[in-house]
Amino acid sequence: MQLLKGTVIGLGVLIVLAGGLLAYGLYQKSQDPGWRLFSSAPAADPAPSATTPFGVLSLDLPEGCLITRVRPDANRAYLTIGPNSACNRIVVVDITTGRIVGTIHPGK
């Protein structure tokens, strides 16, 4: 009987700890969606600070194409290129490194 009572108490403590860990994880995820309790990959080198200059970024836009809109989002900037249909695209730029991450061309 004593063994059963100890087992029930031990399992109850484990359930309370699991609930606390779950609540902590949900709170952390609400604050930072990229948060993970256990990292599956080794830690990467820290990103350069936002104040580090990266030099000149050339988009090599064709004649007549202009940047019509810039939308920042965390460490990326989305540049809308236009105005005519030959120019229509969105260029995604990593603003901390100055690297072009990709280009989005609208479908026809």
Taking the C-alpha atoms of residue 18 and residue 24, their distance in angstroms, rounded to an integer, is 10
Interval 40-69: pLDDT, tens? 665 555 555 555 666 777 888 878 888 899
Residue tagged 């939308």 (tokens) = 71
Interval 5-46: pLDDT, tens? 999 999 999 999 999 999 999 999 898 888 887 776 655 555
Taking the C-alpha atoms of residue 8 and residue 5, their distance in angstroms, rounded to an integer, is 5
Put simply, whether the predicted model's pTM sits higher than 0.95 gets the answer no
Interval 80-108: pLDDT, tens? 988 877 788 888 998 888 888 888 887 65
